[in-house]
Structure 1
Amino acid sequence: MADDEDVVEEEVQLEERGESEVALSPVLAEKPLAPPLYEVRPGLGGKFQAANVKEIIMSTMQEQLMGRQYRSDQAVKWAKSIANGVRQRVQELDMKRYKILVQTIVMEMKGAGVKCGQRCIWDPETDDYVGDLYKNDTIFCYTTVYGVYMY
């Protein structure tokens, strides 16, 4: 109510100066806001592009690890550069509203086996993941990219 009284006082002061009412109320001049648009599903062609992402993963791992021998002091640096490179190139695909998560594992090939598992709770219609493996005589590298649609 106090706000209404302030507006009335301003109108009186402006009328005394001879100004029109259109100039005095900027609130009336604003257009009403459009209703918010809620995107619950990605549009046509907007889903996670698993085939393109797989190509990016493999090319990035080959660029970083081709011709190298495993070194424990460099493995962390290689894993970070692969993960960051993959994430940056996947984001350039411009999949709108997707959160991109990248996980890279670099290990030494010594003949021992490795078993890994993953479990995710998500919407199977919109969310997806893809992973690829690179190995040479001394390096075993596995990179996984998760694409989670943000509602």
Structure 2
Amino acid sequence: MSEISKDKASRLLKKRGSVSSVSSPDIKMKEIRSRAKDSVSTVSYVDEPTHHDDASRPAVHMENTYQLGPDRCFPVDAVNHILKDVLTNYLQEEKYEPELCRQMTKTIAEVVKARVKDLMIPRYKLVVIIHIGQLNNQSLHIGSRCLWDDANDTFASFVFRNTSLFALATVYAVYLE
């Protein structure tokens, strides 16, 4: 088998994310013939090192922090200000269009998450949910349920309205022990 075919086969395996291991490291390609139709299937294996050199890599020892609560509380007021600022800047002049609003929810969620992460509050997992809908004299109830610790976990929420759409942004902050 040529070098180009081997490189192509190994790239295809890497793109798909499948890795197979064999007992003998010197087996690189193996052909299997089917008895029924005399077809040829090629199975390729990724080269694996025969031994792991543990001495070259120092072991990392992690210590427990025994920290059961946050050093400081999650700043709900600062996050509410971020939500208000982002929703107002992105949606102030927008008209409701389903495809545009679908893309805007993704964009706004990423911007909000990045700005909240810039506050550098350690050990909090963030979940950002954005709802955008058409404002058409209808009623809508959005509810959420979470299983969390009342002492450390919290959320921030903001509702935005203009003449044609509404938006609800919620950031859940869950403390990671």
Q: In which range does the TM-score fall when normalised by the shorter chain?
A: 0.7 to 0.9
What's the secondary structure of 1:142's corresponding residue? strand
User: Structure 1: how far apart are the matches of 2:88 and 2:62?
Assistant: 49
2:66 is the counterpart of 1:38: yes
- Whose radius of gyration is greater, 1 or 2? 1
2:170 pairs with 117, 120, 144, which one?
A: 144
Q: Unaligned regions of 5+ residues in structure 2, if any?
A: 1-60
Which residue matches 1:90?
116
What's the secondary structure of 1:69's corresponding residue? coil
Q: Between the two proteins, what is the percent identity of the paired residues? A: 26
Which residue matches 2:152?
126
Residue correspondences, number: 117
Counterpart residue type for residue 147 of structure 2: I
CA RMSD after TM alignment: 1.3
Stretches (4+) displaced over 3 A: none
Greater RCO, 1 or 2 (C-alpha within 8 Å, sep 6+) = 1
- Greater per-residue helix proportion: 1
User: Structure 2: how far apart are the matches of 1:109 and 1:78?
Assistant: 16
Give 1:68 shift: 1.2
User: Structure 2: how far apart are the matches of 1:34 and 1:116?
Assistant: 42
- TM-score by structure 2 length? 0.64
1:61 pairs with 77, 87, 100, which one?
A: 87
